[in-house]
Chains A and B, each alone.
Chain A
Amino acid sequence: MGLMDIQASTQTKATANGQRIVNNFAITAATRNGTGSQTSNNVLVLSLFKMGIPVNGKNLFPSNIKGLPTWYTIRANKHGYTARPAQAEIAVALNTDTAAEDIQKLPPGGVVIIPQEWNWTKSREDIVYYEIPVDPLVKEAGINPDLRERVANMVYVGAVAQLFDISLDIIWQALLQNFNGKEKPAKINFDMAKRAYEWTAQNIVKRDPYHFEPMPDNNKGKIIITGNESAALGSLFGGVTVVAWYPITPATSLADGILEYQHIRKAADGNTVAITQAEDEISAIGAIVGAGWAGARAMTSTSGPGISLMAEFTGLAYFAEIPCVIWDVTRIGPSTGMPTRTSQGDILFIHFLSHGDTRQIVLLPSSVAECFEFGWRAFDISEQFQTPVFVASDLDLGMNNWMSEPFAYPDQPINRGKMLDKAKLEQFIADHGEWYRYRDYDGDGVGYRTVPGTDHPRAAYFTRGTSHSDKAIYSERSEDWVQNLSRIQRKINSARNLLPQPIVDQDPAKKIGILSFGSNDPAILEGRDMLAAAGIQTNYMRVRALPLADSVAEFVRTHERVYVLENNFDGQLAQIVRMEMSESTEHMASVPLGDGLPMTAQWVFEQVSKREGK
Chain B
Amino acid sequence: MPPKTNTLGLTREDYKGSKSTLCPGCGHDSISNQIISMAYDLGLNQHNLIKLSGIGCSSKTPAYFMGRAHAFNAVHGRMPSVATGATLANRNLLAIGVSGDGDTGSIGMGQFKHLVRRNVPMVYIIENNGVYGLTKGQFSATADSGQELKYYGRNELPPIDLALEAIIGGCTFVARSFSGDAKQVQTLLKAAMSHHGTAVVDIISPCVTFNNHETSSKSYDYGKQNEVALHEIDFMPSGYVPEREEITVGEYAEGEMISVTMHDGSVIRLKKVGPDHDPRNRAQAFQLLERAQMEQLFVTGLLYYEEPRPTLAESLYLTQTPLAQLGEEHLRPSRQVLDDIMKDYM
Interchain CA distance A275-B315 in the complex, whole Å = 11
Chain A 258-272 residues near chain B, CB threshold 8 A: 261, 264-265, 267-272
What chain B residues lie within 8 Å of A376 (beta carbons)?
332
Interface residues as binary, A106-150 with B (CB distance below 8 Å gives 1, 0 otherwise): 000000000000000000000000000000000000000000000
Interchain CA distance A454-B46 in the complex, whole Å = 10
Q: CB distance B70 to A269 under 8 Å?
A: no
What chain A residues lie within 8 Å of B294 (beta carbons)?
none
Q: CB distance B86 to A293 under 8 Å?
A: yes
Interface residues as binary, B52-63 with A (CB distance below 8 Å gives 1, 0 otherwise): 100000000011
Binds B, one of A73-81, A457-465, A522-530: A457-465
A538 to chain B, nearest CB (A): 33
Nearest A residue (CB) for B321: A267
Binds B, one of A22-30, A200-208, A239-247, A338-346: A239-247
Contact of A242 among B48, B323, B328, B342 (CB under 8 A): B323
A177 to chain B, nearest CB (A): 8
Whether A105 sits at the interface, judged by CB under 8 Å, is no
Whether A413 sits at the interface, judged by CB under 8 Å, is yes
Q: CB distance B84 to A286 under 8 Å?
A: yes
Binds A, one of B72-80, B201-209, B250-258: B72-80
Q: CB distance B50 to A269 under 8 Å?
A: no
Chain B 304-346 residues near chain A, CB threshold 8 A: 312-313, 316-326, 328, 330-333, 335, 337-339, 341-342, 344-346
Interchain CA distance A271-B319 in the complex, whole Å = 5
Given A237-B333, A269-B319, A460-B47, residue A453 in contact with residue B324 (CB < 8 A):
yes
Binds A, one of B22-30, B89-97, B140-148, B282-290: B89-97
Whether B159 sits at the interface, judged by CB under 8 Å, is no
Nearest A residue (CB) for B21: A474
Could you say which interface size class chain B belongs to? 35 or more
Contact of B68 among A265, A290, A410, A457 (CB under 8 A): A457
Question: Which of A276, A286, A414 is the most central at the interface, judged by chain B CB atoms within 10 Å of its CB?
Answer: A286
Interchain CA distance A86-B110 in the complex, whole Å = 47
What chain B residues lie within 8 Å of A463 (beta carbons)?
70-73
Q: CB distance A406 to B85 under 8 Å?
A: no
Whether B69 sits at the interface, judged by CB under 8 Å, is yes
Q: CB distance B85 to A291 under 8 Å?
A: yes
Given A236-B333, A274-B88, A282-B81, residue A459 in contact with residue B316 (CB < 8 A):
no
Interchain CA distance A221-B68 in the complex, whole Å = 56
Given A272-B330, A291-B86, A452-B90, residue A264 in contact with residue B110 (CB < 8 A):
no
Q: CB distance A294 to B89 under 8 Å?
A: yes
B68 to chain A, nearest CB (A): 5
Chain B 215-272 residues near chain A, CB threshold 8 A: none
What chain A residues lie within 8 Å of B67 (beta carbons)?
460
Whether A485 sits at the interface, judged by CB under 8 Å, is no
Q: CB distance B331 to A239 under 8 Å?
A: yes
Q: CB distance B78 to A460 under 8 Å?
A: no
Nearest B residue (CB) for A316: B75
Interchain CA distance A68-B325 in the complex, whole Å = 49
B167 to chain A, nearest CB (A): 19
Q: CB distance B316 to A271 under 8 Å?
A: yes
Whether A569 sits at the interface, judged by CB under 8 Å, is no
Whether A507 sits at the interface, judged by CB under 8 Å, is no
Whether A488 sits at the interface, judged by CB under 8 Å, is no
Whether B106 sits at the interface, judged by CB under 8 Å, is no
Q: CB distance B323 to A241 under 8 Å?
A: yes
Nearest B residue (CB) for A410: B332
Q: CB distance A290 to B324 under 8 Å?
A: no
A338 to chain B, nearest CB (A): 28
What chain B residues lie within 8 Å of A580 (beta carbons)?
none
Nearest A residue (CB) for B338: A409
Given A239-B331, A270-B320, residue A455 in contact with residue B111 (CB < 8 A):
no
Binds B, one of A13-21, A31-39, A222-230: A222-230
Nearest A residue (CB) for B88: A274
Given A286-B74, A286-B78, residue A453 in contact with residue B48 (CB < 8 A):
yes
Q: CB distance B84 to A276 under 8 Å?
A: yes
Contact of B320 among A269, A275, A413, A451 (CB under 8 A): A269
Given A261-B341, A287-B88, A452-B70, residue A223 in contact with residue B318 (CB < 8 A):
no
Whether B182 sits at the interface, judged by CB under 8 Å, is no
Whether B83 sits at the interface, judged by CB under 8 Å, is yes
Whether A213 sits at the interface, judged by CB under 8 Å, is no
Q: CB distance B324 to A272 under 8 Å?
A: no
What chain A residues lie within 8 Å of B81 (beta carbons)?
244, 278, 282-287, 289-290
B112 to chain A, nearest CB (A): 11
A322 to chain B, nearest CB (A): 9
Whether B213 sits at the interface, judged by CB under 8 Å, is no
Interchain CA distance A269-B114 in the complex, whole Å = 27
Nearest B residue (CB) for A312: B75
Q: CB distance B85 to A460 under 8 Å?
A: no
Given A287-B84, A296-B85, residue A459 in contact with residue B319 (CB < 8 A):
no
Whether A445 sits at the interface, judged by CB under 8 Å, is no
Whether B82 sits at the interface, judged by CB under 8 Å, is yes
Q: Give 25 pairs: A residue, B residue, CB < 8 Å, sorted on A.
A: A177-B344, A222-B346, A223-B342, A236-B333, A237-B332, A237-B333, A241-B326, A242-B85, A242-B88, A264-B337, A272-B319, A272-B326, A274-B312, A278-B81, A283-B81, A291-B89, A292-B85, A296-B324, A297-B331, A312-B75, A409-B335, A453-B92, A453-B324, A453-B325, A461-B71
Residues of B within 8 A of A (CB): 45-50, 52, 62-63, 67-75, 78, 80-90, 92-93, 110-111, 114, 118, 312-313, 316-326, 328, 330-333, 335, 337-339, 341-342, 344-346
Further contacts, 16 of them, CB under 8 A, given A264-B333, A453-B48, A460-B67: A233-B338, A268-B319, A269-B319, A270-B317, A272-B330, A279-B110, A283-B78, A285-B81, A287-B85, A289-B74, A295-B322, A297-B331, A407-B342, A453-B47, A457-B47, A461-B71
